[in-house]
Structure 1
Amino acid sequence: MPDPCKPQACAIQACLSKTGFNESKCSQVIDQLYECCTKFYQEKGPDARTPCCPVPRLLELKLEQRNKEPLDARLLK
């Protein structure tokens, strides 16, 4: 089965390469991957696995961190 979040993961790699690995400039595509992963686990269950998504517990932690300290690439140009 193809990975449903692979396009978002590839977009992150492309963005990081283009920006000299400046993660703050790629926050939008990172958010898109986390949204895709959240949907993936909601549909497939917490025991599902895909190489493009962090395991559910780690995904939750990353989402909490991003909500506490939101990064806005537009402000960091």
Structure 2
Amino acid sequence: MTDPCKPQACAIQSCLTKTGFDESKCTQFIDQLYECCTKFYQEKGPDARTPCCPVPHLLSLKLEQRNKEPLDARLV
């Protein structure tokens, strides 16, 4: 099975490499990965697994944290 969210995960890695690993400059790519992962679990179910996505309960936690306040990844 090919990982449907691999392009988003690779985009994060590419961004981090280009920015000297400054996560705050890559948040759009992180958001895109989380959107892809959300769709993946909606389609495949909560027991599905893919190496590019956090498990569902961690994904929910990360999304909740990102929605609470503007996130500066450097503070995390």
Please give the TM-score of this superposition, normalised by the length of structure 1. Answer: 0.90
Residue 7 of structure 1 is matched in structure 2 by: 7
Q: Which residue of 2 aligns with 1:75?
A: none
- What stretches of structure 1 of length at least 5 have no aligned partner? 73-77
> How far apart are residue 69 of structure 1 and its match?
2.0
Where does residue 68 of structure 2 map in the other structure?
Answer: 68
| Match of residue 51 from structure 2 | 51
Structure 1 partner of 2:39: 39
Q: Structure 2 unaligned runs (5+)?
A: none
**What secondary structure does 1:46 align onto?**
coil
Q: Supply the distance in 1 between the matched residues of 2:42 and 2:70 (Cα, whole angstroms).
A: 23
Answer with 63-72 or 19-28: which moved more.
63-72
Measure how far apart 1:24 and its partner are. 0.6
Cα distance in 2 for residues equivalent to 1:71 and 1:23 = 10
TM-score, structure 2 as length reference? 0.91
Q: CA RMSD in A?
A: 1.1
Amino acid in the other structure paired with 1:62? K
C-alpha separation in 1, matches of 2:42 and 2:25? 28
